[in-house]
Structure 1
Amino acid sequence: MTVRIYGIRNCDTMKKAFAWLDASGIAYAFHDYRVDGIGKHDIARWCAAAGWEKVLNKGSRTFRALPGEVRDELDEPKAVALMLGEPTMIKRPVLDTGTAIEIGFRPDSYAEIFAR
């Protein structure tokens, strides 16, 4: 199984996910989308798997700083464009096992994914 985890290195939630993967002996490749960027194809694939509402981090400072009319008028294409332009609006981490996409970190969800 090829595991790739996407996010921002210094994020506290990312650190928890890294620690869980390391403690579980799961090898992974890390993609820092603040440093390495992210493509529209990846964001669209995550949205198709989990729903754009789950992929978009509405709690981020960047999202909250958007004008109200932008936040209120969102649909999937607009949300994808926002996340593409400002990857900090993507909820972290995004775990891609090749067969499953998990948005955010919950130890019980990770345990279930890797028990399969």
Structure 2
Amino acid sequence: MQFYGLKTCDTCRKAQKLLTEAGHSVTVTDVRADGVSRADLERFHAAFGDALVNTRSTTWRGLSDEDRARDPIALLLDHPTLMKRPVIEADTLYLGWGKDVQAKLIG
């Protein structure tokens, strides 16, 4: 299972811990430290559309209207912390750590 998140994100840390406790082998990619490839971002955007961009983040609030109007992939390459987290790649792609994702991955 591939896990894309931030090591400083409380939700990501909680999700990683629960996934590991449930017996999953989790390979973590820190989107800030390790980066995310354009190909991966394109796959994620194809799966989740505009939901991939976290418009509630402090990074988003700090962007100009001009920046907000940019291509989402280019924006995420420049500002990886704008990506909604976590993105989990298991049998399919999952976005976030809501009850629906938890039910599918840890029961």
Is the structural similarity TM-score above 0.5? yes
Residue 113 of structure 1: how far off its partner (Å): 4.4
Matched residue pairs, number?
A: 107
- For 1:59, the equivalent position in structure 2 comes to 56
- The RMSD of aligned alpha carbons is 1.7
Show structure 1 runs of 5+ residues with no match: none
- For 1:30, the equivalent position in structure 2 comes to 28
Conservation of the 8 A alpha-carbon contact between 2:67 and 2:75: no
1:19 aligned counterpart, secondary structure: helix
Q: TM-score, normalised by structure 1?
A: 0.82
Conservation of the 8 A alpha-carbon contact between 2:18 and 2:106: no
1:2-25 Cα deviation digits (max 9, x unpaired): x00001111011012112202212
Deviates more, 1:87-96 or 1:13-22: 13-22
- For 1:103, the equivalent position in structure 2 comes to 95
Superposed structure 1 runs of 4+ greater than 3 Å apart: none
How many percent identity over aligned positions?
A: 35
- For 2:44, the equivalent position in structure 1 comes to 46
2:26 maps to amino acid: Y
Show structure 2 runs of 5+ residues with no match: none
